[in-house]
Structures are given as C-alpha cells and as structure tokens.
Amino acid sequence: MAPIVNELLDGIAPRGRADLVAELTQRFPTRVIAGIMGVPLDDADQFRLWSEQVSAGPLYPEAGHAASQAMRDYLHPIVEDRKQNPQDDLISDIIHAEIDGQRLDDEHIYGFLLLLMPAGAETTSRELGIALTALLTHDGWLSRLKDDWSQLDQVIEETLRWESSAPLATREATEDTEVDGCPVTAGTRLMMTMTSANRDEQAYADGHRWDPDRDQPVPHMAFGWGRHLCLGMHLARLELRVALRAIIDRLDGLRLDPDAEPPLIRGVAFRGPEELHVVWDV
Ligand code: HEM
C-alpha cells in the first residue's frame, strides 16, 4: 500500500495544489484491491469506472449491467489463465480454494470477483475523502497527528462513526416483529441507515459532532453487523491508516484551497466529498 500511495503523491507533491479526490482518494483503493486480486495496476482506473457504474446500477440499470458484463469479459482470460497457472493472488485463491472436496463454480467465482471490486474500491475511496474533509475542517488535528501518530486510530474510528461511506443496508423481514413501537410484517423490505445508529442520541453525546477525543473505544456500525459484517473492514482500516499518514506526512502545511468551494460530504447510498481542493507548501 505504501508504494502505491507514495507513487500517487510523487505525481502531485511538487505542484502545491490538487483535487485530492480526483488525484488520490479515488485512485488509491482501486489500485490496492487490483493488486490483491492480481489484475494489472495500470487497469485500475478502468476498474474504478466500472465499479462506479455497478454501484449506481439500482439507479441506472442498463449502464450497471453493461459495466458488470465488461468487467466479466475483462476478467475472463485472467480467470482462465489462473485455472491452469495459479499465482500468489486472490483470483487464484478463489478458483483453487476447496472445502470438503468442493470448489466454486464459474458463476460464484465471477459473482464474488464482481462484488469485491466495487465493494473494495468505492467505499474506502469515499471514507478516505471523508476523513480528510474532517481533518481539514477541524482546526489543529493535522498538527496533533503529526506530533503523535498514536491518535490516528481514534481519528479513523470517529470518522467511520460520524460518516460511513456506505450508510445503508437492505433486508427483508423473515417474521412479524416490532422495532421501537413500529410494527414490521414478514416479507417487508427494509432499508436501514447505519448512520442513524451511529449517531444515536442514547449512545453518543452530541453524535452529530466529529470528535476523536470521545471516550475510547467508540463502538459503531459503519461496517454493518451480524452475518454480513463487512468482509473488508480490516483492509479498509489499514488502507486509511497508510494513506492518511503518507498524505499528512508528505504534504506539508496541508490546508483547504481558499480559492475553491469548501468540500461537501453528500450522497445517499454512497457518501463522500465529490471534490477536495487543497494546497500545501512546496
Ligand atoms: C471504509 C470502507 C468500507 C465501508 C464503510 C464498508 C461498509 C460495509 C457495510 C456497511 C457492509 C454490510 C452491508 C449489509 O449488511 O448489507 C459491507 C459488506 C461487505 N463489504 Fe464492506 N465496507 C468497506 C470496505 C470494504 C472493502 C475494502 C472490501 C473488500 C475488499 C469490502 C467488502 C465487503 C463485502 C464482500 C461485503 C459483503 C459481506 C457479506 O454480505 O457477507 N468492504 N461493507
């Protein structure tokens, strides 16, 4: 991860200004997951575009299906190659993994790969943008971190609590029940927002405030809960740690660009800043 983020930083560091979303936060996690899966890093930007279209599938089904098919077509020769020549990558592991003599069939192999790329890319990109937005809009935190990196984990956990980049989960009720006085009948489709739980006034004092100084640890549901708990949460945390440290270390005097619009965290199914214009000392 460190070489990937440092290479991206090499490209912008001498310039003294950038939109960190376009040039860094969108590009870093896609490269990381591409590397883990075993697809060429040079194709990571193409994967990011497909991932965005797959994620927007519920709104634009035609584009979503086309992107999903394009990804599958792209992966086909790589999957076929790894069937014969396994390598030290996740695609090979998924193809050759065996439990009780059973392996995954092609439908499941592609299904899993097509889930991993958008799940691993878009969420972490956006969370990195959210963390940087929080740090740049709350005085003193960048220099506090530089003085004492041991506070980085509490910054990351508070950011996840405050604004999860993937705040919604959908479920179907399997039996009649009641939630906080509201009846829910079996078969009802539900969309729950984790951010509401993460700001529950009974659990957090002034939950709308981003405040890494809260009493630790601060439990939250940014990665979901139960049997579908995020598979990539440890990877995501590590990526946030590595990227934030490199960005803050290398871009001295990092601050919002006074000539640009301030960043805005928005979105429904996926949240994050669309742009993050910053300047630093060169
Ligand atoms: C900050 C970054 C991330 C956030 C906020 C996030 C959030 C979530 C949430 C809320 C769920 C549960 C959805 C539900 O219950 O319906 C989930 C599931 C999942 N996530 Fe993440 N995620 C992140 C990063 C990642 C990464 C890096 C990967 C993979 C490399 C990943 C892979 C998955 C997968 C495969 C599932 C489905 C698990 C299942 O259904 O059993 N996520 N994620």
Residue 36 CA: nearest ligand 1 atom is: 30
- Global pTM reads 0.94
Q: What is the CATH number of the domain that holds 132?
A: 1.10.630.10
**Ligand 1 proximity of 68 Cβ (cutoff 6 Å):** no
Does residue 100 lie in a domain region?
A: yes
- Rounded distance between C-alpha atoms, residue 6 and residue 233, angstroms: 22
Q: What does the pLDDT read at residue 26? A: 93
pLDDT exceeds 90 at position 27: yes
Q: What does the pLDDT read at residue 216? A: 84
- Rounded distance between C-alpha atoms, residue 180 and residue 197, angstroms: 13
Does residue 247 lie in a domain region?
A: yes
**Ligand 1 proximity of 128 Cβ (cutoff 6 Å):** no
Q: What does the pLDDT read at residue 52? A: 85
- 3-class secondary-structure state, position 139: coil
**Ligand 1 proximity of 168 Cβ (cutoff 6 Å):** no
Does residue 180 lie in a domain region?
A: no
Does residue 265 lie in a domain region?
A: yes
Does residue 152 lie in a domain region?
A: yes
What's the rounded mean pLDDT across residues 78-106?
95
* pLDDT band of 86, cuts 50, 70, 90: very high
Mutate to test the pocket of ligand 1, among 231, 241, 242 (most ligand atoms within 8 A of CB): 231
Distance 154 CA to ligand 1 centre (A): 20
Does residue 77 lie in a domain region?
A: yes
Q: What does the pLDDT read at residue 55? A: 82
Q: What does the pLDDT read at residue 175? A: 97
pLDDT exceeds 90 at position 110: yes
CA distances (Å), origin 22, targets 126, 129, 273: 11, 10, 11
* pLDDT band of 235, cuts 50, 70, 90: very high
Tokens 């992966």 correspond to 75
Domain that holds residue 71: 2-165+234-279
Could you report the per-residue pLDDT of 112-171, keeping only the tens digit for each? 999 988 888 889 999 999 999 999 999 999 999 999 999 999 999 999 999 999 999 999
Domain count of the fold of the chain: 1
**Would you put residue 243 in left (φ > 0), alpha (ψ -120 to 50) or beta?**
alpha
CA atoms within 13 Å, Cβ hemisphere of 66 = 6
**Ligand 1 proximity of 127 Cβ (cutoff 6 Å):** yes
- Dihedral in degrees, nearest 10, Cα atoms 116, 119, 122, 127: -130
Q: Cβ distance 44 to 34 under 8 Å?
A: yes
- 3-class secondary-structure state, position 130: helix
Q: What does the pLDDT read at residue 67? A: 93
Does residue 122 lie in a domain region?
A: yes
**Ligand 1 proximity of 235 Cβ (cutoff 6 Å):** yes
Could you report the per-residue pLDDT of 29-65, keeping only the tens digit for each? 999 999 999 998 888 888 888 988 888 888 899 999 9
What's the rounded mean pLDDT across residues 170-176?
95
Does residue 226 lie in a domain region?
A: no
